[in-house]
Structure 1
Amino acid sequence: MWDTWEWNGIDWARAAKGGPTACHGTAMAYDSFRGVTVLYGGAWGSYQYSETWEWDGSAWTKRAVSGPGNRRNHALVYDSHRKVAVLFGGDPSANSGDTWEYNGTSWTQKSVTGPGGRFYHAMAYDSDRHVVVLFGGSSVSFTQYKNDTWEWDGTTWTLRATTGPTPRVYARMVYDTARKRMVLYGGSDETAKRTDSWEWNGSVWTQVGSNNPGYRSSGAGMVYDTARNQVVLVGGTVQTEWRNDTWVRNSPALIWFFGQPFSITRNVGQEATMAVSAFGSGTLQYRWRRNGSELTDGDGLTGTRSPTLRIASVRTTDAGTYDVRVFNECESVFSNSATLTVPINRDDSIRALRIAGGMITATADDRTRLDVLKGASAGKIDIGDAVQLLRTAVGL
């Protein structure tokens, strides 16, 4: 078959017959800037193609451009920030580990290192963080299944994770723009046919949900419908049976941020607050963190379970990076990070000194500053040195 079909959220309708040669193992991506769908490569039997085609909603046009060469089972996504289609990997005579970009006029190979050669990998574009995310696949005739997660920012491939879904091929992945996370479904690993769903938030993978379309190997198509906030999956094969069923996955209850915490600078002893504004269904709960560790109320710290975090009297140990996890019964999301900077102030250090038993001692919170000022041991210096510090503090 070489016909083209379109989905309106309810029904499929044939849009055209003819166009690219009937093939399998091809890849497509939608160029939102030019309003065309780009198709590259594929195979029929043992013959592999190196053709670039574009669909404008009415007709297919073959583009007379040279490109990445014959291949199948590669991945192609569109980077809307840089306005290029990004292709990685595939299955020519030797497994490919090359990166190519297409700007609508020509293909350009990027001279970079990154994920090793592979095919049947999953790839999608994160339009909020402006990175291409790649997961899994296999190299060398299905003998080395992978579960590494890589990100491409247009310049460099970065390995982001080696844990999460099991090493697998045939997985499908799209970016949920409403919930700002990758959604990965199914595939096959070395021990089983998988029907699990996973989500990638840019930091960690989380397994989600239990209802699923059932297993299918190659040939399935999965996209994200931004008009209806749905993941749409169609077709695929189960052993020798070709499927034509269509499944949709609605985004669960959303949590939206309309106010993020922002970075601040506070001196020792001043009050500091950070706040977030969020909206979502049900009851929202909050968990503030500093440097990735969850906080609890106490010792001048309040609001760790509320939208507003308050530090009554800032200490040097309060400096760091803060964020908050907001969650309900269906979803958990993190705010942007914000930094609390606490500068070392010589006058504050001097005012905090106390005389005891012929020695001048700083409180525990001020020892770091005292060490910086005088190299003191355990926060103590003799009175003679303290006099010099006091002279320095008042400019004498």
Structure 2
Amino acid sequence: MKRFWLGAALILALTANIAEATFSYTWTTPSQVNVGAAYDVSVDIYWAPDYEYDYQYSVTLWYNGSTPKQYGNGYSWDTLTLSDSGNETAAGRIYWLADCQSYEGEYSSGYQYIDVVAGNRAPVPGISVDGRSAGQTITRPYGGSVALTVRHTATDADGNLSGIRYNIWNATTGFFDNGGAFVPQSGGSGAVVRNVTLDTDGDWYFWTDAEDSQGAYSSTGDWGSGFHLVVVVAANNPPTSELSVSNASPYYNQSITLTSTIQDADGNLVDQAVDVSTDNSNWTSGWNNWSGTTAWVISGSSATGTITYTPPSVGTYYFRSRGADSANARSAFATVTVTVNRAPMTAPTSQNYPNVESGVSWTPAINGNSVSGTGALLYNVAGKTNWGSSPWTTEPGTYTFFVGQLADANHEGNEVDPIVGRIMVNYQRYEITVPRRTATFSFSGGPFTYDGSSKSVSVSVSPSGATYSTSGAYSATDSGTYTAYATATGSYSGNDQYSWTIEKATQAAVSITPGAQTVQRGASIQFTAHGGSGAGSYMWGGAAQGSGDTCEVVFNEIGSRSVTVTRKGDINYIDSAEASIAIMVTAPPQYTVAVAASPTTGGVVTGAGTYDSGTTATITATASAGFRFNGWSGDATGSVSPLSVTVTRNMSITAEFAPIGSSPTIAGQPSGQLKIEGGTVAIAVTATGSDPLQYQWRKDGVVIPGANSATYVIQNAQVGNSGSYSCRVENSYGYADSMAVVVTVLRAAGDEDNDGVENAVEVALGLNPLSADDVWVHRFKYSELGYLDESPGGKYSEIDAEGNIKATHP
């Protein structure tokens, strides 16, 4: 087959060596398209072969003669379909060609051409979002939003742009901003600008649709493929708190003003609270449930609240304030301390009490106090009666009273009364006579439920109206039934009684921290109980056992576990209601520890298995007979067995074993040598230890090549062979070094000690050529016979020219 191309025209010379085989082509494609218009093309190829075994053929689909587009394979009497698509950018004629070749080499071709004409072109849409890049992540303030300017644009090469449609989509909100209809446009370009505010996290898609007056339409994408941005929220910032007080040192019964200011950078304030305590180390649990709390519901980025407070007694008061935002983030406490001092009092004005006639009620009083203390104090000269406050029904008799304002913990006085020595303000003396009267009684109060404070029954005496309180005598300390009695004495007659029942109170609710959570198996959590009332202890249940404020639990079982707590009752309270939380225990990741022995006959290694992440595996190496454990390799080092490793990944550990033997020991040390040039030096070492033993001699610490025997021999020794010699003996278990010995080689004719006797002669005579002293001991004299020993009882020796002793004479 041959192909010829001439300009835009295709001249096809189709030569199909098909013999009796038949190829047929069915094309599905437009005969004409506009420039810029997309189109599809496909061809069905059917082949009837000429041979039964020529069962397969291959096809190549070409575009415009030079670009292969599709490949395929067909079979005998089968139809194969190839398809593709195109979008032409210039007018002219383009060709699609199908090349076929059978298994036996038969060829065929079929083609289809399409005329591309200049016609209407679809507009080209575009989009930009504040210069942002596609896929960029935008962080919005916590509780806030991010503002964007979106430009939807389009251009039209034919100048007939008719509309732009804007689209913004989010998975949560759907079509957040969609114009629906196209915004009218004209000419060759247009734009629609949208200012949007995004306050939802997640993926946001922006795209532009454009159309022209001829109905041509195009788009930059859709909700899954448009311009994409990711919106995330910034971390929440907790609020800050400030607290100030108008007077930090007021008198008793003097009010103060507290000002609390809360700031929040994220503008999501929701709560503001101020409370008071007289014990700075024992604030009530729960930040919104303090005794004395004043709370405001607020919003925005700042809030200021004030509270007027009158301390109930002298002492130190601690105030704190706090704010919270919508994310339940709370500010640190802002605190102030106020010290309340005793208030000064003024003296009462003088007055006279008239005598009280029989059957007449009267009310003693003290006038003229600008600041009150505990009230009027009235008592007789004998000090038998201390009534305290009015009104009173007096007993008969004549009484002398000292009346004054009694100082207390909250008020200051200036005098000490003469009877019981209490501090008062300018007491006064009065006398009054009271006749005998008849008393009647009435009771009020009860039944009572004990709540931690004393309960009382009031007994009234009529008709005087004086009231006696029995609270001191009848404080409730336990549940039960109680009876109050009132009896008239002296000039009064009559008595009465009243009974009431005190029940144990219900405790406040209890709670557990930390709360419900999910943990991995093996996790240890310390729980703390809060709340309740009275003196009873906390009792733990469920996965927790024991008593006390805290309880530590280790969770080793997978699944849902509960932790409960109650507070036992005491003499005043019943048991509390139970508090419970759920803990979900999950399995941690697991890893494999593989072990091996090297060599495999050297010993046994244990500890392989599957372990939870973070647990400890114990690996033990046990040497076989004739072997010893040398150390670990792979994912472990060192030579300690058993070995403990923390498992955080898959591990492979090998125990290294070695045969048992002994390291070398030097049994015989080498000896030093003194030789004349030309002589033979032989130094030897003897060693014991496991075979094979290896020897290495050194001269002056430097290895001597080839000196690897127990004996080291130097033939024809020279002066240069002098030095320090040692030997290292090694085997597979260690090594040992011999001592270093000195080998000295001297020139024969030299005289090292300058004693007049040559080195060779001194060596031959058994003297030391390095020391002149031995010559003088023998007082040698040279003669024609040689050197003569002239020492007492000495002898002489004949020595030849080489220094050898020829004969020795007495």
TM-score, normalised with respect to structure 1: 0.36
Structure with greater helix share of residues: 1
Higher relative contact order (CA 8 A, sep 6+): 1
Q: If each structure's strand is expressed as a fraction of its own residues, which one has the higher value?
A: 2
